[in-house]
């Protein structure tokens, strides 16, 4: 594909350089979205369009706050690799044990031909022993969604958070 549409902050490096792009550009945008949700700011900021494009192409994103589960930070970084060949595919993301567990908890169907993620035995035993304790994380996440909706001029959408604030 060769068209360019979208918010400049979410443009992948290959789009910024006028190169052909693939679904990996969408994965980049997913990484930007995760980064914003985790850090409450854009990974690349600039005062004008040209400076923003240069930062996306040349600079590294700002260090992330380690507020949420490490897998979210790793996923955001993995998705925002400058080289599109180093980014995961949607299938690779869905094959992550954490993503499959989240889909299971939410009752979401995954493709039947997807590899079934199996946690190592010691990790599975540890996960069964851990019990989720309510913290400010879920409430903070809901407040952030409400604040972002208000900021964008949209009415706040009620969010029901019933799972831990980690994937």
Contacts of 108 (CB under 8 A, 6+ apart): none
Residue 12 has pLDDT above 80, yes or no: yes
| Residue 130: alpha-carbon gap to chain centroid | 25
**pTM value surpassing 0.75:** no
CA distance 22 to 157: 32
Q: pLDDT per residue over 53-64, tens digit each?
A: 999 999 998 888
Distances (CA, A) of 120 to 75, 88, 117, 124, 165: 20, 22, 10, 6, 22
Q: Token pair 């706050």 is at which residue?
A: 65
How confident is the model at residue 3, as a pLDDT? 56
136 pLDDT higher than 50: no
């Amino acid at each position: 594909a060769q068209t360019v549409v979208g918010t400049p902050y979410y443009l992948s490096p290959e789009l910024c350089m006028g190169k052909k792009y693939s679904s990996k550009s969408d994965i980049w945008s997913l990484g930007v979205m995760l980064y914003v949700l985790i850090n409450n700011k854009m990974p690349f900021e600039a005062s004008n369009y040209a400076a923003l494009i240069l930062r996306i192409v040349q600079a590294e994103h700002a260090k992330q706050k380690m507020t949420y589960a490490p897998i979210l930070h790793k996923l955001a970084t993995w998705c925002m690799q400058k080289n599109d060949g180093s980014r995961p595919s949607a299938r690779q993301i869905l094959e992550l044990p954490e993503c499959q567990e989240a889909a299971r908890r939410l009752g979401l169907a995954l493709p039947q031909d997807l590899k079934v993620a199996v946690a190592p035995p010691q990790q599975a035993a540890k996960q069964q022993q851990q019990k989720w304790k309510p913290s400010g994380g879920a409430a903070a996440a809901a407040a952030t969604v409400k604040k972002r909706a208000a900021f964008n001029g949209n009415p706040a959408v009620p969010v029901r958070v019933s799972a831990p604030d980690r994937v």
